[in-house]
Amino acid sequence: MLFLINIIVAGLLSGLMYALVAIGFVLIYKASGVFNFAQGAMVLLSALTFVTLNEHGLPFWLCFIITVGVLIVAAVLIEFLVLRPLVNRSPDTLFMATLGLSFVIEGLAQLVLGTDVHQLDLGIPDVPLKLYGLQVSDFDLFTAVVSILLVAVLALLFGKTRVGISLRAVADNTLAAQSIGIRLPYIWRIVWSVAGVVALIAGLLWGNRQGVQFSLSLVVLKAMPVLIIGGFSSIPGAIVGGLIVGATENLADIYIGPLVHGAVSDWFAYILATAFLLIRPNGLFGEKPIQRV
């Protein structure tokens, strides 16, 4: 029984890491209806920038600030060069554009910052401790706290600030928001910058665990089933989706894996998400879209 609980807890904790990436998607999807495939590339870009600066001997806080600056510049450029010319085009077109964007960002990041694998040490030990028989490390607890803080900050940002409220207005009804004087390009720049900061946090946590390298950008693919299960437009949904994917993936690897002679975590989440779509096409917390003819 303790073994089972340990598997579930380990799964839930890795699920939190998925959720952190998924939150970045939700932010952009809510504000502009774009499924931003480039979020994974942003995770890679931010982690690479941070690590490179850190290796040049800059202190942690300065690296963080400079990286956030880089991400804001990237957000402004993306809004100006990609989103603005493609305004009013179909969601599929925008999805394809962010796919192209992800290749540009990955290529540029690796061209400028190199393709080496970097070690990133945030100074938090990742050694499992026994806590009432559960295998949990300091780093796991840190990740959990960061996730909770992030969700709280985002909730405050969206609920209480002027920017956040106009952001929700844009998400709710773009045309009406524009007609009362909310400037769309401004909102997009803000939202892409915030998504960039979320990508940085996710990149630091993932980078600490598995090193900063190209495979970080592949995390984006695992965020897909997380979003489908949680719903594309809900931050709590992203968290819950991440937890479900993390836990079931770990369970499947332990209990189904031996039956089929191999690790199933490569594909299990996608099949789970597909099965989920057949039952609840809008996810757990998603809104039901209304179709007009």
Which chain residues interact with other proteins by CB under 8 A?
A: 35, 81-82, 85-86, 89-93, 95-97, 99-108, 110-111, 115, 221, 224-225, 228, 260-262, 264, 266-267, 270-271, 273-274, 277-278, 281, 291, 293
* 109 vs 198, beta carbon nearer other proteins: 109
Distance CA 293, CA 291 (A): 7
CB 23 within 8 A of CB 203: no
Per the listing, tokens 């942003």 go with: 42
Which residues make Cβ contacts (< 8 Å) with residue 45, sequence separation at least 6? 70, 71, 74, 105, 106, 108, 109, 199
Closest CA to 192 of 71, 105, 292: 71
- DSSP notation for 68-102: HHHHHHHHHHHIIIIITTTTT--HHHHHHHHHHHH
* 107 vs 185, beta carbon nearer other proteins: 107
Compute the least distance from the CB of residue 212 to other proteins, in Å: 16
CB 240 within 8 A of CB 230: yes
CB 22 within 8 A of CB 242: yes
* 150 vs 229, beta carbon nearer other proteins: 229
Compute the least distance from the CB of residue 102 to other proteins, in Å: 7
Closest CA to 115 of 204, 212, 28: 212
- Looking at residue 229, the DSSP 8-state letter turns out to be H
Distance CA 55, CA 118 (A): 9
Compute the least distance from the CB of residue 178 to other proteins, in Å: 21
* 36 vs 54, beta carbon nearer other proteins: 36
Compute the least distance from the CB of residue 261 to other proteins, in Å: 6
* 115 vs 161, beta carbon nearer other proteins: 115
Compute the least distance from the CB of residue 245 to other proteins, in Å: 11
* 197 vs 273, beta carbon nearer other proteins: 273
Compute the least distance from the CB of residue 158 to other proteins, in Å: 24
Compute the least distance from the CB of residue 292 to other proteins, in Å: 8
* 195 vs 197, beta carbon nearer other proteins: 195
**What number of other Cβ atoms are within 10 A of residue 137's Cβ?**
16
